[in-house]
Structure 1
Amino acid sequence: MNSLNLVSGGAAHGLVASVAAIFREQTGFEISGEFGAVGFMADKLRAGAPADLVILTRALVAKLAEENLVIAGSIRDVGMVETALAVRAGDAKLSVSNADDLRNALLAADAIYVPDTKTSTAGLHVASVLDRLGIAVAVGSRLKIYPNGATAMRHLAACDAARPLGCTQSTEIIATLGVELSGSLPRGYDLATTYTGAITVQSVHAMAAQALIDLLTATEAAALRAQAGFLNVEA
């Protein structure tokens, strides 16, 4: 069976998985996807990794279009994803409504599971939030940093820490067994990132790539997007 090569941010992994069977039935293609920190994924495309389609942040896709690596006319928004807090399944969820609540929650955690703080959307944001809260040094030794949010959440699920906490994109939390979405970051420290699909210039299966974009963004797929953690894109 033919395979469609997808390079994507980890935020879209759960959504893509939810439509894979439908896509295979409609097109005869399997989805061969690689998911990870968006900066790393963009650099893989720049380095020549085979890909028919990318799903990355809107800003990164726009940059790739400027670099003539994706087809500008194929660009379409999939949805917005919030960076959120996660707890291990069975642990008490947190009530975080302001900066003080967030600071106290992070200081109380004995292990904080996050994605790459240099190449991932959520990881970069976590690093910024810690700086703004003035606790980057205080919690630095407790940070458990992994290549992407999905890996960080799997380790959170399996950890034996007394008071662990996670922070990554809500879609990665929802898609991981053993962790639960605890809530959004408070106003002023929140982040909602728009993810966008585009066909690559090098695509050898452009029609199938377009079919996947159509499927992911269809009105009929609204419930699947919501279930995966995607919000409607603000006008």
Structure 2
Amino acid sequence: MRRIEKDREPACLADLRGTPGAAWSSVHGAQRQQMREHAFKEQHGLCAYCMSRLPGPPSAEGMKIEHFETRALSPELVFDWDNLLGVCLGDVGISDGGGHHRDRYHCDTYRGHLPREEQRIELNPAAFPPDVSSMFSYTNQGEMRAAHGLEPTMRASAEAQIERLNLNIARHQRNRRTAIDVLRSEFQRKAPRAARVKALLELSTTPDAAGLLPPYCQAAAYYLEKKLRQLG
């Protein structure tokens, strides 16, 4: 998970806030599409939670708009752009072993199946501070964990977020491990030097010409930052 720098909100949100009685259920297709396009651009083509690639161009078939603070718990934030995130459909993990099992859901799809009192999460990728990029660590096997050195309350929040979004399903761990293994293979062929590690870190965290970031780039960035510390 990485920090999202929110851009100017879609024009439709001001219209919705100014419409008496407007509710999320009354948002029409063109307005939802405007939100998807804005979220896709500011998130550089990645799901706000799992960091998998969102299919482009953005559409209802490949992504949806998620309320970080749920509509049920925070109705006053329904049309607040800082509370709206672009996320994947959250159920693609069911292909791992087959069967429509809830334990294969992830991101807001998984959270939505939890009891309401367990749905709250606290580390909004679009809020700062804290910077969510520093709240999580990744093992070389692709497991996502709370970052080392967090104070107890923040650690509990990070662990709850991983659990309530089901971010350690096999598919995500496998894809994170692949992103890290590409780097490990390079360093096995040639001993890493700080300049090369810094160049790879910049490549992993800088959008390409199309404005897209590599999927699971934060796992790669964490590995490279750790490598830089080891090199001194």
Give the structure-2-normalised TM-score. Answer: 0.26
Give the structure-1-normalised TM-score. Answer: 0.26
Select the structure that is richer in strand.
Answer: 1
Q: Structure with the greater relative contact order (CA < 8 A, sep ≥ 6): 1 or 2?
A: 1
